[in-house]
Amino acid sequence: MAIRAAQEQDSAAAAELVFSSGPVAFEHIFNSAHGPDIRDFLALEFAKSGTMFSHRHHFVYEQDGRLIATIGGFDKASHDATFMDNAKAIFTQYGWRGIVKGLLFELRLVKPPRKGCYYLCHIAVDPQWRGKGIAAQLINFMAARAHELGYSTLSLDVAELNIGALRLYQQLGFKVIKRNKSYNGVLDNHLYMEMAL
């Protein structure tokens, strides 16, 4: 078992995991009816270096050569640096519809990281490996990394109805800071959480 920096060649397995971290949101924003299968899009972008879906912003958990979990991390500067590449990739594959839906999602439900905070995303564990403490190991790994980099706060967003994830985050020390109400009937309300490092 090992946690390591993600690599380009992880793209196919990682895309499936990243998608599973928020399938309702991914399907709403990108919508395969208006472009490629979302997993194909995520795999393509994971292998590149410019967007927020890139391997450069992710770590993976590997067991016997198989990827079984992912986690992403950003600060404000690294997240902002992906903005134009995100927009270009989404527009190229899903048109203006994807851009508008993505912006609404970021403005209303899952806001960009705030300054001085290290933000976690795309936390996903293969269903066969859930309940074994892997997500907690990944989060603790990222917390230690963020602390070493000089951040004093770790943050994340979670769908309010994702009770299992919410319980885990609270057990690890995250506190709910804000509840962001959904703006449509498809997406869940989201909770913004922070943990002091």
pLDDT tens-digit series, residues 171-189: 999 999 999 999 999 999 9
Residue 91's closest CA among 30, 44, 48, 43?
A: 30
Instruction: Calculate helix-pair angle for 83-108, 38-47, nearest 10 degrees.
Output: 130
123-136 residue pLDDT tens: 999 999 999 999 99
26-60 residue pLDDT tens: 999 998 888 999 999 999 999 999 999 999 999 99
149-178 residue pLDDT tens: 999 999 999 999 999 999 999 999 999 999
Pairing outcome for strands 58-63 and 117-125: unpaired
- pLDDT above 90: residue 148: yes
pTM: 0.95
DSSP notation for 3-14: EEE--GGGHHHH
52-82 residue pLDDT tens: 999 999 999 999 999 999 999 999 999 999 9
**Average pLDDT taken over every residue of the chain:** 96
Kindly list the structural domains of the chain, giving each domain's residue range(s) and its CATH number in brackets, ordered by start.
2-196 (3.40.630.30)
Length reported for the chain: 197
DSSP notation for 115-165: TTEEEEEEEEE-GGGTTSSHHHHHHHHHHHHHHHTT-SEEEEEEETT-HHH
State the Cα–Cα distance between residues 147 and 24, nearest whole angstrom: 32
* Cα distances (Å, whole numbers) of residue 42 to 29, 129, 157, 197: 13, 22, 20, 31
